[in-house]
Structure 1
Amino acid sequence: MSENSFEQNQKVLKLDTMNPNIKRVEYAVRGPIVQRAVQIERELKMVDTRLFSAAEHTVKMSENSFEQNQKVLKLDTMNPNIKRVEYAVRGPIVQRAVQIERELKMGVKKPFTEVIKANIGDCHAMGQKPITFFRQVLALCSYPDLLEDGKFPEDAKTRARRILNSCGGGSLGAYSASQGIEMIRHDVASYIEQRDGGIACDPDNIYLTSGASDAIVTMLKLLVSGEGASRTGVMIPIPQYPLYSAALAELGAVQISYYLDEENCWSLNINELKHALQEAKQHCSPRALCIINPGNPTGQVQSRQCIEDVIQFAAAENLFLMADEVYQDNIYADGCKFHAFKKVLFEMGPEYSKKVELASFHSTSKCYMGECGFRGGYMEVVNLDPEVKVQLTKMVSVRLCPPVPGQALLDVVVNPPQPDEPSYTTFIKERSETLAALAHKANITQEILNQVPGIKCNPVQGAMYTFPQIQIPPKAILEAKEKGQFPDMFYCMKLLEETGICLIPGSGFGQREGTYHFRMTILPPEDKLKIVLAKVKEFHQHFIKQYS
């Protein structure tokens, strides 16, 4: 400890600066005895909730006013931070889309026959096919009797046996260690080392997670502390994935917005970071910088030089880096390449690799896998204060463990078939075809949208979305304001009602004042994607004419 005392004092996230509530958490079920035991071993059917219209809701509230006044938990007594949370990806547009789907099933006449949800990166819901090998291994793990079935290839059986042998009682139904199954964490570490050209990865720095979202929120919980002017500030890109703004609102942290450069294909400008940081220092204590690369909702891929600049900036300003890299396989544009923050950090030398605190995130929900429902992913932490790491491990133990089927899926993602194994040819074919199809759809999306007067679409370099800028006439802006809506919300709601196309307004992700956008996924099958784009084109032209 004495040798590392100087380094520890330089940490952004330390035991005396982290969220003090976390230190008060005690959870004996996964406490010291269990941790010691681990050391010795080393040695949707969804509930159908009725969606009330505003009028119905008002009537219902008035009918039940007496009962409501007797409630312990009411709107004015609940956690006020929750009321500030907004999450556009599952917001009013999507709720209305669900209502319309029900109306169509009931026989209500519409100018369309189906709702096409191009609002969310739910790959399999949009028709993307699962990777055969992954599902074979998961089937074998879920029902081990199938290991005697001759229809399954031997490499899938080998993976399944290895995973089951690492599970409690040989079953996916058993809890795992809170940090995740040790064998799988070792496999993830090997995968990262291979990805990063041999840079070492310690399995003890790997936390298996319920997708990337849960890990991101967990790290934000650790980082957030303070009151008033000393409240924690977290820098997030605008446009951003609304998980970040929602989590910061819930935690009572300060959102520090930095704008991506739309005119330069949504690139990240260091001068913008510096400006946003200096402004924020007047009213909060900036502590963390979040980067989404490849970008959601903007689809950009940051250059290596940009990543080096960000690391230098974080080091100079003593900021904790959070790298959201869940789309790292989704690279489409020529000349673009994914650069992992950890790899760049260590290649920049000890001046940075021993100082900058980094948490990076990956998920089985995106890339060519698209297995959103399994909720698998991992987080790697670098240079985390050892005392804080103890608190992190304690905090994840409160949730017992990540979903074990999701951990099993992650293991085959990071340990896929090798060239000498029977499933390799099929695996490579399916993987390549999936990514090639996404690249093709990224290209046709930007091409078709840029043919529409009043729509400007940057190249979709990566990820699964486009975020085009749309012109909205003054009359439409005025009508939207009269309805109490953002202009792009007004636009997207009309689009849904008239065409059945469900998109998300740019205001849900953030945008420069006076500009309007929507986010659309490129995931639908090509024939359906072309229908979506044609309907958007026709609607936009009619909308401009109607409000000119």
Structure 2
Amino acid sequence: MATKGKVLTLTEVNPMVRCIPTSKTDILVRRAGEITRELEQGAVKPFPDVIIVSSGDSHGAGMQPITFVRQVMAACLYPELLHSDRLPSDVRQRAQRLLGECEGSSVGSYSCPLGLDAVRRSVAESLQRRDGGVISDSDNIFIQSGSHVALMRVLKVLLHGEGVSQTGVLVPVPCHPRFTQAVWALGGVPLPFQLSEERGWVLEREELQRALRDARGRCSPRALYFVNPGNPTGHVQSRESIEEVIRLAAEESLFLLVDEVYQQTVFGVDREFVSYKKVLCEMGPPYSSTVQLASVHSVSKGFMGESGLRCGYVEFMNLDPQVKKHISSIVAKEGCAPIIGQIALDIMAAPPQPGDASYTTFRAVRSPCTQPPGQERQASLDTLAHNVRRVQETADGLPGVSYQPPQGGITIFLRLHLSHRAVEQAKALGLEPDLFYCMRLLEEEGVCAGPGCDLGQREGTYHLRLCILMPTDSLEEMLRRLKSFHHRFMQDFC
């Protein structure tokens, strides 16, 4: 019987998907994997291993999981441990309570598509504590398989239209490319606005208005996306800046999509995280009753770093009940978040408290804690703050490198002032200059960093993104290699 050939060829791929550019960081990560396999097969290179600092996977970088989290998960996965005194009493109590919320008392069951009711209540209570008593309704909290999945499902409802009616989404630059790619893939138009590097990566209202003006006549701006604390910039948005964004959203009828996954990693002096929801509620009517907001958080970031468990949530504010119904339908069709991830989310929302059997360990594991009740997350913050200082000290000694000091998050965004010769060499090879720099860094020193061209940057500027929530000894080795390479690179292209 004759066949007609392959059905799915490049010309048959969804045009919205075809327009998504290949991630430069993904190219580097694939090459890093190849180099690792070459080393395992006995290849001789000037370095013993590959250090990946292009990813925010802190456990992959060597940070250790939190004991309480893993003990509760272990008891839920193997309920025989509920009857063993090998685990602290509060671990067994938490595991028993959470198993009681699961169908068949098993983590192998499905949950309600929006998440376990008990976990949604825990999240709501934690948000209420975070925001100083601002009411949080668990009915407005949808648990998803990570914050990115949560954003994708909101976008599916939000994005529609063609031509001048096609939905436009304001997106900060620089920004992680996954969100921009999602907007393209789902039929929207990303509308970039530049953050001010010279002012510490702050958001400027004038630049937002400029992006809106440029969008008129080619699409319909309906949403604004922002990351606070910033990724990759590490900027922590002030209350005044958040108020400005909310006022603009009210004036321009924009839906606010806010990524707040780094809220627990603020280390800047005299800086604190303030949620969009808290500011919106405290601004009062008409803003608090009309501006629509979706904010996301995840167990992947912060003091837990449980990236592989794939769980996060979105909280809605002022969402139309009919719209909520449609989002619920999408979530129901695409399935619930993993139960084990939801267990970790419950612990993030309600960690051990003073008087609990696990509190001392949770509070002081891996590094001394001097700021009660900072608990174990202070250990990660201590490491993160130390690493930020060390990267800054190293960068201060590197010619042609500058930076805006980060105040939160787990990344530092270094600016590379490359010579004309280096830029021309990169262009001759068909590469962006900072990608050229990163490729050489990987091949010569085994350090896989993220090029700024992947995240967006002003024309004629070049950057390096380093994810630095990692053990201090690994960081020191990475910095030693970076320093050696950079001096050599600058000499080669002086």
Select 2:186's aligned residue among 251, 259, 276. 251
Aligned to 1:487: 433
Q: Which amino acid aligns with 1:424?
A: Y
Aligned to 1:132: 67
Corresponding residue SS for 1:359: strand
1:394 equivalent in alignment to 2:340:
no
1:520 equivalent in alignment to 2:455:
no
> Do the aligned partners of 1:320 and 1:358 also contact (CA within 8 Å) in 2?
yes
Bigger mean CA offset, 513-522 vs 483-492 = 483-492
Corresponding residue SS for 1:529: helix
> Do the aligned partners of 1:118 and 1:523 also contact (CA within 8 Å) in 2?
no
Corresponding residue SS for 1:299: coil
d(CA) in 1 for partners of 2:464, 2:11: 33
Aligned to 2:94: 159
Q: Which amino acid aligns with 1:233?
A: G
Q: Which amino acid aligns with 1:510?
A: G
d(CA) in 2 for partners of 1:173, 1:201: 29
Q: Which amino acid aligns with 2:78?
A: Y
Aligned to 2:360: 425
1:99 equivalent in alignment to 2:34:
yes
Deviation at 1:327, TM superposition (A): 0.4
Aligned to 2:223: 288
> Do the aligned partners of 1:89 and 1:119 also contact (CA within 8 Å) in 2?
no
> Do the aligned partners of 2:299 and 2:307 also contact (CA within 8 Å) in 1?
yes
Corresponding residue SS for 1:125: coil
> Do the aligned partners of 1:443 and 1:460 also contact (CA within 8 Å) in 2?
no
Aligned to 2:373: none
d(CA) in 2 for partners of 1:232, 1:516: 30
Bigger mean CA offset, 442-451 vs 164-173 = 442-451
1:321-341 Cα distance to aligned partner (Å, 9 max, x none): 011000001011101110000
d(CA) in 2 for partners of 1:398, 1:450: 52
> Do the aligned partners of 1:446 and 1:458 also contact (CA within 8 Å) in 2?
no
Deviation at 1:482, TM superposition (A): 2.0
Select 2:341's aligned residue among 373, 398, 406. 406
d(CA) in 2 for partners of 1:450, 1:219: 42
Corresponding residue SS for 1:91: helix
d(CA) in 2 for partners of 1:289, 1:89: 25
d(CA) in 2 for partners of 1:433, 1:253: 41
Corresponding residue SS for 2:172: strand
* Structure 1 gap segments, 5+ residues each: 1-66
> Do the aligned partners of 1:97 and 1:115 also contact (CA within 8 Å) in 2?
yes
d(CA) in 1 for partners of 2:214, 2:3: 43
1:349 equivalent in alignment to 2:295:
no
Distance 1:360 1:87, change over 3 A: farther
- Percent of paired sites with the same residue: 46
d(CA) in 1 for partners of 2:252, 2:363: 43
1:430-471 Cα distance to aligned partner (Å, 9 max, x none): 322121111111121122112211000211211000111102
* TM-score normalised by structure 2 residue count: 0.95
Q: Which amino acid aligns with 1:503?
A: A
1:203 equivalent in alignment to 2:149:
no
Aligned to 1:111: 46
Aligned to 1:462: 408
1:358 equivalent in alignment to 2:358:
no
Q: How does 1:148-547 map to 2 (within 5 A)?
A: 148-429=83-364, 430-547=376-493
Aligned to 2:371: none
d(CA) in 2 for partners of 1:336, 1:87: 36
> Do the aligned partners of 2:24 and 2:435 also contact (CA within 8 Å) in 1?
no
d(CA) in 2 for partners of 1:442, 1:338: 18
Q: Which amino acid aligns with 1:302?
A: Q
> Do the aligned partners of 1:242 and 1:508 also contact (CA within 8 Å) in 2?
yes
Corresponding residue SS for 1:398: helix
Deviation at 1:395, TM superposition (A): 0.2
> Do the aligned partners of 1:86 and 1:242 also contact (CA within 8 Å) in 2?
no
> Do the aligned partners of 2:24 and 2:451 also contact (CA within 8 Å) in 1?
no
Deviation at 1:89, TM superposition (A): 7.3
Corresponding residue SS for 1:130: coil
d(CA) in 2 for partners of 1:415, 1:488: 42
Q: Which amino acid aligns with 2:56?
A: G
1:196-254 Cα distance to aligned partner (Å, 9 max, x none): 11111111100001110100111111111000111110001100011111101211211
> Do the aligned partners of 1:89 and 1:242 also contact (CA within 8 Å) in 2?
no
Q: How does 1:4-43 map to 2 (within 5 A)?
A: none
Corresponding residue SS for 2:176: coil
> Do the aligned partners of 1:257 and 1:276 also contact (CA within 8 Å) in 2?
yes
1:156-203 Cα distance to aligned partner (Å, 9 max, x none): 111111100100000000000000011111111111111111111111
Q: Which amino acid aligns with 2:484?
A: E
Bigger mean CA offset, 506-515 vs 111-120 = 111-120
> How many residues of Structure 1 are paired with residues of Structure 2 in the alignment?
482
Select 2:17's aligned residue among 66, 82, 85. 82
Bigger mean CA offset, 69-78 vs 359-368 = 69-78
Corresponding residue SS for 2:169: strand
d(CA) in 1 for partners of 2:257, 2:187: 18
Corresponding residue SS for 1:468: strand
Bigger mean CA offset, 444-453 vs 290-299 = 444-453
Deviation at 1:411, TM superposition (A): 0.7
